[in-house]
Amino acid sequence: MTEAVTINPTELIAEMGRRARAAATVLALAPTATKAAALRAAAQAMRAEEATILAANGEDMARGAVNGLSGAMLDRLKLTPERIEAIAAGLEAVAGLTDPVGQEIDRAARPNGLLLTRVRVPLGVVGIIYESRPNVTADAGGLAMMAGNAAILRGGSEARGSNHAIHAALQQGLAVAGLPEDAIQLVPVSDRAAVGAMLTAAGLIDIIIPRGGKSLVARVQAEAKVPVLAHLDGIVHLYIDKAADPEMARTIALNAKMRRTGICGATETLLIDRAFADPAPILSTIADSGCELRGTDEIRAIEPRAVAATAEDWDTEYLDAILSATLVDGVDGAMAHIAAHGSHHTDAIVTDDAVTAERFLNEVDSAIVAWNASTQFADGGEFGLGAEIGIATGRLHARGPVALEGLTTYKWLVRGSGQTRA
């Protein structure tokens, strides 16, 4: 690995991009069974190489401890036999997903006899930039490949040994299935210049997907000349309407905030209709759960454990056991708050009034809008997509959970019998 850092990152990414494009040409035409076989063989190789992967991960962990990584970062970095098995099982699950490539989106016979079909084809070359979790190497690489793409993976330097060992298993799987090993490449240098080279590799990389914290995503969005699928913030709202079932509202609020506080679908702001009869049990349940409440004066009058919210709270994604809360004037007040402070990720309403619910579903401009369900369902697996490579809050190409279909594009096929245009 050490000699790799002497390579010019721009030349390195250009060369990897050319090899990826060549591999993508093969992958685009690979049968579903061949791609699935590669993933299953990679899962077997992961299991067979468990000791090697654990040893490499142990070196990463030791170096991380010396370098003063936080406990949370070390936990994200750490592999165990159980985590390796979960990664292998994840590859097998992706192998069982429906292959979008070749699917017909629509079909039309024109009056002149031309038959038009629109069919899904792979995007091409997918760049994935991630941080300390080594499982992303397999999860993202496998998903991109199953959709017929070549992947260029750039993981965090703290996980380089683990990523290299997992990547070796993926390449074994590709080789077993007779697919080009260049279909999943791992950037061998981990300095930040390699990221910059990927972000400006227009024409070589078709799309960049960042997986990691806000500073990584912000850098990618600011610098990229290549299209990016991502979400910067998940400022997720739960609105309790006056017509909400009180017990449903209490249960959903607790789950939406506290089931897991560190995921992007976790609720960050609770909006309660000023006309809702009984907000106290909801707020006390939240406070009882160990969550810090930050509220307006009205909220603090109902739940004394709440501290005063500042203006900044309404625009903050805590990713922690903290919830901001305010009363609003009905669904219009809730939607105005969401329009002013939301991040177009996921927002939910609890109400028994179907008319109000449909207004909220229709008018809230977010990738995911939910009615009488926890915001924590914002997840490709929960949506039945099998796995997700990320959640996108932009408006182009794919929105919400991005899985196999989001990693494809389409082309138009025209079948004629000699037609010329008049």
Is residue 340 part of the contact set for a copy of itself (CB under 8 A)? Answer: no
Q: Which is nearer to a copy of itself, 173 or 390 (CB)?
A: 390
Q: How far apart are CA 222 and CA 206, in angstroms?
A: 17
Sites for a copy of itself among residues 20-39 (CB under 8 A)? 25, 28-29
Q: Which is nearer to a copy of itself, 26 or 86 (CB)?
A: 26
Q: Element (H or E) spanning 271, and its range?
A: strand 267-273
Sign (positive or negative) of CA dihedral 47, 51, 52, 55: positive
What residue has token string 């061998």?
188
Q: Out of 207, 230, 271, 328, which residue is the one contacting a copy of itself (CB under 8 A)?
A: 207
At 165, the amino acid letter reads A
Supply the minimum distance, in Å, between the C-beta of residue 417 and a copy of itself: 6
Q: How far is CA 155 from CA 175, 216, 340, in A?
A: 22, 12, 35
8 A C-beta contact, residue 386 and residue 377: no
Q: Which is nearer to a copy of itself, 39 or 244 (CB)?
A: 244
Q: Can you say how many angstroms the Cα of residue 61 is from the centroid of all Cα atoms in its chain? A: 25
Q: Among candidates 107, 187, 198, 196, which has minimal Cα distance to 155?
A: 187
Is residue 108 part of the contact set for a copy of itself (CB under 8 A)? Answer: yes
- What lies within 8 Å, CB to CB, of 153 at 6+ separation is 128, 130, 136, 137, 140, 141, 163, 167, 184, 185, 186, 187
Site string for a copy of itself, 81-100 (x = CB under 8 A): --------------------
8 A C-beta contact, residue 134 and residue 79: yes
Supply the minimum distance, in Å, between the C-beta of residue 410 and a copy of itself: 6
Is residue 223 part of the contact set for a copy of itself (CB under 8 A)? Answer: no
Q: Between the CA atoms of 72, 76, 80 and 86, what dihedral angle is there, to the nearest 10 degrees?
A: 140
Is residue 417 part of the contact set for a copy of itself (CB under 8 A)? Answer: yes
Sites for a copy of itself among residues 366-395 (CB under 8 A)? 366-374, 376-377, 382-384, 395
Find the distance separating the first CA and the last CA of the chain, reported in whole Å. Answer: 62
Supply the minimum distance, in Å, between the C-beta of residue 286 and a copy of itself: 14
Q: How far apart are CA 402 and CA 27, in angstroms?
A: 20
Site string for a copy of itself, 253-292 (x = CB under 8 A): -xxx--x---------------------------------
Is residue 399 part of the contact set for a copy of itself (CB under 8 A)? Answer: yes
Supply the minimum distance, in Å, between the C-beta of residue 243 and a copy of itself: 14
**DSSP label of 225:** S
Q: Total number of residues binding a copy of itself (CB under 8 A)?
A: 61
Q: Which is nearer to a copy of itself, 188 or 246 (CB)?
A: 246
Supply the minimum distance, in Å, between the C-beta of residue 259 and a copy of itself: 6
Binding residues for a copy of itself (CB under 8 A)? 25, 28-29, 108, 110, 114, 116, 121, 123-124, 206-207, 227, 245, 248, 251-252, 254-256, 259, 339, 348, 357, 361-363, 365-374, 376-377, 382-384, 395-397, 399-401, 409-421
